[in-house]
Amino acid sequence: RLTKAVLNSNARLGKFASGFDIILEDTTFQMYSPNRPKQIEFVAQHLKEGGIFVFLEKFRAVDDSDYLRREYQKDFGFKARYFQQEQIEAKKTAVLTTMFNNEVTLEEMSRAVGTHFKHCVMTWNSGNFC
């Protein structure tokens, strides 16, 4: 919904019509679709020349057992310290199924980013998140 026309026509948002220096996508794409090339294309139109696009994504593993092992580590090694088991299960039901269905592999993400940018670097890796 945030098109250049919307930015140009809205007094409050007009200062952003020339674009952003930094855009952070934080586990948003995976809530809508696995089509990373189109998602990146749409958002990148708002990035200034020389700007930085940061992606924080949860990725599918090539091997399902690796993915499940990392999920187990997250759920029982971290989340269990702060949340009741019922809360963890409720989040799985409410959110994680949608996320999983729209996740891509790290290789797929790399190809999608490479379609729009010359340089890409992984700066962080934690379980299924990078």
Is residue 128 within 8 A of residue 56, CB to CB? The reply is no
**Taking a C-beta distance cutoff of 8 angstroms, is the pair 27, 57 a contact?**
yes
What predicted TM-score, i.e. pTM, was given to this entire model? 0.85
pLDDT, position 1: 72
- In sequence order, the 6+-apart residues with CB closer than 8 A to the CB of 20 are 46, 47, 48, 51
Beta-bridge partner residues of 24: 54
Separation of alpha carbons 29 and 35, rounded Å: 8
DSSP 10: -
Reported as a pLDDT band with limits 50, 70 and 90, residue 24 is very high
Tokens of 120: 């890409």
Q: Tokens 């580590």 label which residue? A: 73
The pLDDT tens digits of the residues spanning 65-108 come to: 998 899 888 888 888 999 999 998 888 877 777 788 899 999 99
Q: What is the pLDDT of residues 31-51, one digit of tens each?
A: 999 999 999 999 999 999 999
Average the pLDDT over 47-57 and give the result: 96
The domain spans of the chain are 4-116
β-partners of residue 58 are 129
Tell me the Cα Rg of the chain: 17
Identify the three-state secondary structure at position 71: helix
Contact yes or no for 23/47 (Cβ under 8 A): yes
